[in-house]
């Protein structure tokens, strides 16, 4: 509230107090007369008039969810004089006070009809005399100028704060907070005592989540603790909560506390079967550049996979995600099935404010749930004049929202091995088809531009690519079953064997090269040395890629390990082990670390498969003749056997890694069985 203010405001205890105006109730609760404070001016120096208030309320009532409900109950608004105006309702109701005092993304601010320029140094806001409490009370502008500096990188922003280059950060990623411990020049405080609220939203329009049973299966798959551990890490800064309208707030409900918080994997699998899930992919959108919504999709994806959902995580920036979530088309045509979001808890504290419980189909928020009964209850809640009645209605809406899935606040080995066969076959068919449909002729690539048609025909016959496509595929599949991936069309086998391997890293490899190779001259800049020629040269050329790789994921794994161990270390069985006299090392490694391993394994499994995609970047940075560049060069050269073989190898590696992680779950946590 640096420019505008509200007629009413909530103090730190949630009570509604006068801010710009006082009010009187008349006609048995059907009329509200507001009187503006004397001396009120807008920032341009013009006085605040009752007509400005009426125009502002009408404008707010068109865009805010709570305002839209309120305006349906307003029979008229009229000005009495410059400082007094009246709002008449169709029936007695005190919801108007809560609506005009609401905070969050769309408060009912009062603004002039026509804005005019005024000098920035002119302080003409008339503040209240009492101390500030919540969003109520005196608001003093204690600075002459405010500069908003955009810093996309969180570490850069935090360093700017530590070095005194900026004065304030609205929020700091939780894993960076330890950097501020003991810093006497920086004050860290939780200003929003209510906190924020994160949830994942399902798309009600398309399979599988147009099926109520499958929405419930997805909800029961996720444990809040796992999501919050990945998002926050430190239990000091989060708590689990089953209530749709927030814990510790007026409309808190404990419905579903036995399964909303902790999930129920067995029941989720049963609902998946009962709901007739057909294996359609679940497309989850993941923002890569938003630290407050990037970790949850990965945890949710892994939880859904454990239940039996076929999950595809699609990564993009936050701006792209916010645009794509508005696409109400099918997931196969740019739509989606799940995305994760977050909100100030105050914005979701009752059925009228909350966008997430609106259930009017295409008129509702993204996900477009259509549950007429919930909409009837929301209208009933707005019309209720008794707080006890509203509480009962809110509890019923809470129950229905959870049951409908509107709001979600977290011999097997043989079967899996057999499942590899159709997966690899599908990959083989897709790769074969894409390569054959891609423009280009391998024969022309080999013979050059001067080849005659007869020479090209001879080369095609020698390569076997003059046969019909189905015969080419049969011959290739037959060799594949014998373990023969084929012979390169453009390279000799010895040259392919010498390609070696690479370690996937990211662009920070350039920084390592600059410091350790160019600056300090400790290590080679780039390139590859065969171990047959020089073991030392081979090893030193792998140091920088290895460091760059490990720096990316050691921090993440350490963070997840720390938060998971902190959760386990408080359990009763750990205290019992200490009471029996076990040493701290034994307690940590035998009891705590083993039981904290499941989320760590999840992150490791996701990380390994993700790193495969960085192979090409790795080899470009460090000039390594590895498999990634080989794939790219083979695609450009239309070298069908090499591309098909390498992609099959990559697919098989990813499948086996996921299988190994699933099996390790059972090793570290005997409660998990398949």
* Upstream peptide bond of 208 is cis (omega within 30 degrees of 0): yes
Is the separation of the CB atoms in 34 and 23 below 8 Å?
yes
Residue 494: pLDDT above 50? no
Q: What tokens were used for 509?
A: 């490899």
Q: Which pairs from 517-526 meet CB under 8 Å and 24+ separation?
A: 517/544, 526/621, 526/622, 526/623, 526/624
Residue 118: pLDDT above 70? no
pLDDT at 612: 64
pLDDT at 122: 46
Gap between the Cα atoms of 537 and 524, Å rounded: 9
Q: Which of 609, 617, 624 is nearest to 502 (CA)?
A: 624
Domain ranges within the chain, ordered by starting residue: 5-110, 196-404
Question: Would you say the C-alpha torsion 481, 482, 485, 486 has a positive or negative sign?
Answer: negative
Q: Which of 312, 304, 339, 308 is nearest to 222 (CA)?
A: 304
- Kind of pairing, strands 31-36 and 21-26? antiparallel
Q: Which of 135, 232, 221 is nearest to 177 (CA)?
A: 232
Mean pLDDT of the region 43-61: 88
Residue 504: pLDDT above 60? no
pTM over 0.95: no
**Residue 74: pLDDT band with limits 50, 70, 90:** very high
Gap between the Cα atoms of 483 and 631, Å rounded: 19
Gap between the Cα atoms of 520 and 426, Å rounded: 49
E strands present in 230-320 = 282-287, 311-316
- Kind of pairing, strands 109-110 and 5-6? antiparallel
Judged by average pLDDT, the poorest of 67-71, 78-82, 513-517, 592-596 is 513-517
Q: Which pairs from 462-470 meet CB under 8 Å and 24+ separation?
A: 463/489, 465/640, 469/436
Gap between the Cα atoms of 202 and 456, Å rounded: 54
Q: What tokens were used for 474?
A: 């049969």
Is the separation of the CB atoms in 307 and 265 below 8 Å?
yes
| Superfamily of the domain at 5-110 | Periplasmic binding protein-like II (3.40.190.10)
pLDDT at 417: 47
Gap between the Cα atoms of 49 and 36, Å rounded: 8
Q: Which of 147, 171, 144, 146 is nearest to 157 (CA)?
A: 171
Top pLDDT among 94 and 207 is at: 207
Residue 344: pLDDT above 90? no
Q: What tokens were used for 674?
A: 């398949």
If you average pLDDT over each of 128-142, 256-270, 454-468, which comes out highest? 256-270
SS3 at position 160: helix
Gap between the Cα atoms of 501 and 367, Å rounded: 44
pLDDT at 328: 92
Residue 22: pLDDT above 80? yes
Is the separation of the CB atoms in 407 and 357 below 8 Å?
yes
**Which tens digit of pLDDT belongs to each residue from 201-237?**
999 999 999 999 999 999 999 998 888 888 887 777 7
Gap between the Cα atoms of 187 and 445, Å rounded: 65
DSSP state of 41: B
CATH class (in words) of the domain with range 196-404: alpha beta
Mean pLDDT of the region 327-344: 90
Mean pLDDT of the region 62-78: 87
pLDDT at 629: 62
Mean pLDDT of the region 2-21: 87
Gap between the Cα atoms of 282 and 305, Å rounded: 10
Q: What tokens were used for 207?
A: 């399979």
Mean pLDDT of the region 119-126: 50
Gap between the Cα atoms of 101 and 57, Å rounded: 12
Gap between the Cα atoms of 219 and 211, Å rounded: 13
The rounded mean pLDDT for the chain is: 76
- Kind of pairing, strands 282-287 and 311-316? parallel
If you average pLDDT over each of 237-246, 422-431, 435-444, 605-614, which comes out highest? 237-246
**Residue 506: pLDDT band with limits 50, 70, 90:** very low
Is the separation of the CB atoms in 608 and 621 below 8 Å?
no
**Residue 165: pLDDT band with limits 50, 70, 90:** confident
Top pLDDT among 206 and 522 is at: 206
The angle at the Cα of 670, spanning 664 to 674, to the nearest 5 degrees, equals 70
R_g (Cα) of the chain, nearest Å: 31
Beta bridge partners of 286: 315
Q: What tokens were used for 48?
A: 């605040």
Gap between the Cα atoms of 499 and 483, Å rounded: 20
Q: What tokens were used for 230?
A: 């990945």
How far lies 368's CA from each of 245, 311, 565, 630, 635, in Å? 19, 21, 39, 46, 42
Q: Can you say whether residue 10 is alpha, beta or left, with left for phi > 0 and alpha for psi between -120 and 50 degrees?
A: beta
Burial of 507 (0-12, 13-18, 19+ CB in 10 A): exposed
Gap between the Cα atoms of 565 and 227, Å rounded: 15
* Residue 398 neighbours by CB distance under 10 Å: 23
* Upstream peptide bond of 219 is cis (omega within 30 degrees of 0): no
Mean pLDDT of the region 328-336: 92
SS3 at position 18: strand
Is the separation of the CB atoms in 618 and 502 below 8 Å?
yes
**Which tens digit of pLDDT belongs to each residue from 658-674?**
777 777 766 666 555 55
Top pLDDT among 252 and 423 is at: 252
- DSSP line for 441-488: -HHHHHH-TT--HHHHHHHHHHHTTTS-HHHHHHHHHHHHHTT-----
- DSSP line for 358-371: --BGGGSSTT--B-
Gap between the Cα atoms of 373 and 396, Å rounded: 10
Gap between the Cα atoms of 397 and 211, Å rounded: 20
Q: Which of 296, 305, 418, 269 is nearest to 661 (CA)?
A: 305
**Which tens digit of pLDDT belongs to each residue from 532-578?**
666 776 677 666 666 665 666 666 777 777 777 777 776 666 776 67
Top pLDDT among 449 and 263 is at: 263
How far lies 498's CA from each of 358, 577, 626, in Å? 61, 54, 9
Q: What tokens were used for 293?
A: 């919504």
Mean pLDDT of the region 436-461: 63
pLDDT at 650: 72
Q: What tokens were used for 598?
A: 């499941």
Question: Would you say the C-alpha torsion 303, 557, 553, 187 has a positive or negative sign?
Answer: positive
Gap between the Cα atoms of 138 and 160, Å rounded: 30
Is the separation of the CB atoms in 309 and 302 below 8 Å?
no
- Per CATH, 5-110 and 196-404 having the same topology is answered no
């Amino acid at each position: 509230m640096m420019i505008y203010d509200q007629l009413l405001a909530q103090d730190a205890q949630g009570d509604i107090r006068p801010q710009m105006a006082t009010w009187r109730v008349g006609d048995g609760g059907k009329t509200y007369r507001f009187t503006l404070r004397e001396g009120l001016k807008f920032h341009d120096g013009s006085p605040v008039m009752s007509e400005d208030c009426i125009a502002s309320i009408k404008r707010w009532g068109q865009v805010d969810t709570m305002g839209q409900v309120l305006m349906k109950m307003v029979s008229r608004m009229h000005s009495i004089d410059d400082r007094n105006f009246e709002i008449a309702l169709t029936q007695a109701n005190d919801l108007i006070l809560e609506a005009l005092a609401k905070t969050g993304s769309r408060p009912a601010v009062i603004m002039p009809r026509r804005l005019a320029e005024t000098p920035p140094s002119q302080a003409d806001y008339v503040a209240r005399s009492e101390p500030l409490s919540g969003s109520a009370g005196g608001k003093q502008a204690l600075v002459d100028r405010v500069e908003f500096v955009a810093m996309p990188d969180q570490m850069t922003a935090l360093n700017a704060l530590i070095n005194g280059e900026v004065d304030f950060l609205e929020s700091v990623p939780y894993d960076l907070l330890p950097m501020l411990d003991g810093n006497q020049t920086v004050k860290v405080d939780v200003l929003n005592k209510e906190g924020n609220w994160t949830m994942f939203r399902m798309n009600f329009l398309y399979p599988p989540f147009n099926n109520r049973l499958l929405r419930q299966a997805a909800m029961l798959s996720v444990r809040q603790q796992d999501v919050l551990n990945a998002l926050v890490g430190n239990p000091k800064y989060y708590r689990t909560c089953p209530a749709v309208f927030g814990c510790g707030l007026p409309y808190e409900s404990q419905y579903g506390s036995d399964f909303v918080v902790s999930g129920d994997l067995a029941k989720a699998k049963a609902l998946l079967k009962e709901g007739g899930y057909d294996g359609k992919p679940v497309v989850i959108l993941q923002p890569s550049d938003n630290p407050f919504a990037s970790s949850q999709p990965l945890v949710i994806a892994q939880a859904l996979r454990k239940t039996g959902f076929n999950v595809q995580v699609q990564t993009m920036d936050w701006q792209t995600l916010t645009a794509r979530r508005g696409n109400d088309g099918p997931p196969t045509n740019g739509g989606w099935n799940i995305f994760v979001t977050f909100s100030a808890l105050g914005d979701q504290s009752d059925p009228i404010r909350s966008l997430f419980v609106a259930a009017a189909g295409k008129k509702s928020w993204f996900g477009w749930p259509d549950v007429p009964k919930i909409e009837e209850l929301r209208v009933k809640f707005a019309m209720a004049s008794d707080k006890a009645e509203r509480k009962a209605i809110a509890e019923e809406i809470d129950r229905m929202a959870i049951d409908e899935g509107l709001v979600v606040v977290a011999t097997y080995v043989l079967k899996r091995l057999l499942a590899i066969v159709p997966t690899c076959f599908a990959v083989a068919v897709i790769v074969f088809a894409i390569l054959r449909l891609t423009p280009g002729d391998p024969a022309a690539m080999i013979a050059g531009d001067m080849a005659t048609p007869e020479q090209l025909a001879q080369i095609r016959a020698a390569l076997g690519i003059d046969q019909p496509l189905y015969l080419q595929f049969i011959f290739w599949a037959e060799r594949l079953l014998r373990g023969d991936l084929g012979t390169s069309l453009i390279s000799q086998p010895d040259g392919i064997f010498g390609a070696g391997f690479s370690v996937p890293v990211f662009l920070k490899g350039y920084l390592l090269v600059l410091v350790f190779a160019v600056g300090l001259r400790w290590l080679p800049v780039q390139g590859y040395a065969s171990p047959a020629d020089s073991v030392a040269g081979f090893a030193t050329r792998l140091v920088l890629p290895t460091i760059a790789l490990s720096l990316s994921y050691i921090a993440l794994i350490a963070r997840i390990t720390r938060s998971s161990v902190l959760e386990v270390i408080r359990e009763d069985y750990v205290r019992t082990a200490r009471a029996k006299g076990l040493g701290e090392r034994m307690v940590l490694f035998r009891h705590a670390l083993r039981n904290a391993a499941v989320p760590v394994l999840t992150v490791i499994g996701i990380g390994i498969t993700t790193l495969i995609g960085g192979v090409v970047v790795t080899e470009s940075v460090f000039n390594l003749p590895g498999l990634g560049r080989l794939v790219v060069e083979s695609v450009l050269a239309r070298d069908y056997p090499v591309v098909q073989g390498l992609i099959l190898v990559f697919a098989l590696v990813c499948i086996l890694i996921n299988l190994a992680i699933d099996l390790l779950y059972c090793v570290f946590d005997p409660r998990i069985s398949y």
